[in-house]
Structure 1
Amino acid sequence: MDRDAVKSARRAFEILELFDRERRPLALKDILEALGYPASSGSALLKSLVALGYLDYDRDRRTYFPTMRISALGAWVPDALFGDGALLGAMERLRAVTGETVILATQSDLFAQYVHLLHSAEPLQFSVPPGARRPLAASGLGWCLLSAKSDEEIERLRRRINAEPGQAQPLSREALMGRVNEVRTRGYAVSKHTVSQGAGVIGAPLPRGAHGRVFALGVAGPVGRLEAKEALIIGELRAALERLRPSQAEAHRHDREGLPA
């Protein structure tokens, strides 16, 4: 793999994410300082993004700003992910009733990736942005996602994880399947201090959605608060799953028949 191409792709997305955070026109100096890029390569990349139509350059003010092409690129994603809005509604209800952060995750290679978050009004020890990734085999929502797979698929993933250069300690089949089977039996996972000390997640796998995508829905917060609300959270997760089943079934029908969601 061409490392320079990978670096350029990563930097292009970092620039777009910077605009998402700042939400204002930015000068070359602002971008280089915020991201720590060398002047020559940073300037060249920005010129490329302008030429491709993803950024606009204001010559009078010498600032860059995203074009509507960026918005158009992802305009279809919410419908593909959330369909008729039932899932977003379920997430809103979970946050309102539990008072905690609600997370929707899906698999991204060897990770569980947070694709949508509704943050709690209550303070969290750690701010988690959309797009954050957690180890698939060592996180609550990761165990939920794995529970929808066959044992053979899980074993292949376990071997890949153990072959990763940064894997300090081999992950045993018994330990992983113990976690996965617990989710299959109970219908939900409880994770405490697993990724971040003091933080936890109570989550459940969702019914398989359109295009075969598997998602997990979780409630995250400080362990003490989750323990105090555990029965409430589990009850609300189960109710959310029941409400979502008809919506997911309809998404499946549209997917099979090639109809718009």
Structure 2
Amino acid sequence: MSKGNPPASAAADYADPRLYVQAVEKAFRVLEVFGTLQRPLSLAEIAEASGMDKSGAQRMCYTLRRLGYLALDEHGRGHVPGLRLMDRSYDFLRMHPLVQRATSPLMDLRRTTQERVDLSLPDDLSIIYAVRLQSKRETFAATLVGRRLPAFASSGGRAMLAYRSDEEVESILGRSDRRAMTPKTVVDLPGLRAKVTEARALGYALAIEEWFLGEIVLAAAVTDGGGRPVAAIHIAASLSEWEVEAFRKRMAPLAMEAARALSG
């Protein structure tokens, strides 16, 4: 699993033992080790990271290779994710109704802003990027869908937290691994509560250099018919090209208008 915490929906603590298949869990534990160890891995490394013995890891890796969900690195350095995983990502994206509806409006927003535009989805303590429309300058990681960020440290996460109850906010903040990504990441509970309160008042959240130095990101939440947050629209830019207040004044109305159009 990538940085942050695994989704609550996958937690074995809440599984019905009559229905829960532990072999399936083990297979996904093998696949998830590449979220934190992002390089070709040996059997021994996979076994240690997944909490399995080497014999079990060997059988699991062999099976996943046969199915196409793992592959051997072309340079012989170990195992890497297989191409079949791309098929499952494609299935998720094409079958998600909000992603389908959002793509065209997000492309319009990208043309208007000339900056990076993203759509993220909530997953308990994290957000996951489902659409990423890059601008003229991006890091490699900032162009990829599927990236997971902690909700507390992202503008999209805070924008969605603003639509949750105080009890839910406290639960998410309290369970989060609140490590700083940069010297400017807000990690203390009073500071984070203030950020959520600010997002509730403004209708959007702003993160300044909290994930990457030199980056500013503004986000507005998309809600369902009951007012629950189901996604966030992000607009990201460089502080070398924007003053904070100018960015806020220009991008906040655009992000909120796009979020309202997709809500409900």
| Same structural fold, with TM-score higher than 0.5 when normalized by the shorter chain | yes
SS in 1 for 2:145: coil
In 2, distance between residues paired with 1:126 and 1:200?
17
1:118 partner amino acid:
L
| 1:35 has 2:40 as partner | yes
Give 1 or 2: higher helix fraction.
1
2:138 to 124, 141, 165: 124
TM-score by length of 1: 0.65
Aligned residues: 214
In 1, distance between residues paired with 2:192 and 2:82?
46
| 1:97 has 2:112 as partner | yes
Q: 1:155 to 1:52 in 2, by over 3 A?
A: same
The aligned residue for residue 261 of structure 2 is: 243
Question: 5 Å matches for 1:78-117?
Answer: 78-82=94-98, 85-117=100-132
| 1:171 has 2:202 as partner | no
Q: 1:100 to 1:124 in 2, by over 3 A?
A: same
In 2, distance between residues paired with 1:199 and 1:151?
29
The aligned residue for residue 164 of structure 2 is: 149
C-alpha displacement of 1:193: 0.7
In 2, distance between residues paired with 1:243 and 1:70?
30
SS in 1 for 2:119: strand
* Identity among equivalent pairs (%): 24
Q: Which has the larger radius of gyration?
A: 1
Q: 1:166 to 1:93 in 2, by over 3 A?
A: closer
In 2, distance between residues paired with 1:124 and 1:242?
27
The aligned residue for residue 222 of structure 2 is: 206
The aligned residue for residue 153 of structure 2 is: 138
In 2, distance between residues paired with 1:199 and 1:167?
15
CA contact (8 A) 2:119 2:234 kept: yes
2:63 to 45, 48, 52: 48
C-alpha displacement of 1:180: 0.8
| More deviation, 86-95/232-241 | 232-241
The aligned residue for residue 49 of structure 2 is: none
TM-score by length of 2: 0.64
C-alpha displacement of 1:187: 0.7
2:137 partner amino acid:
P
Q: 1:107 to 1:37 in 2, by over 3 A?
A: same
The aligned residue for residue 255 of structure 1 is: none
In 2, distance between residues paired with 1:178 and 1:165?
15
1:192 partner amino acid:
I
CA contact (8 A) 2:124 2:172 kept: no
Name the Cα RMSD after superposition.
3.9
In 1, distance between residues paired with 2:86 and 2:209?
37
C-alpha displacement of 1:229: 4.1
CA contact (8 A) 1:193 1:200 kept: yes
| 1:234 has 2:252 as partner | yes
- Post-superposition Cα deviations, 1:21-75, rounded to whole Å, max 9, x if no partner, equal xxxxxxxxxxxxx613249988754530255575899xxxxxx9746x9636752
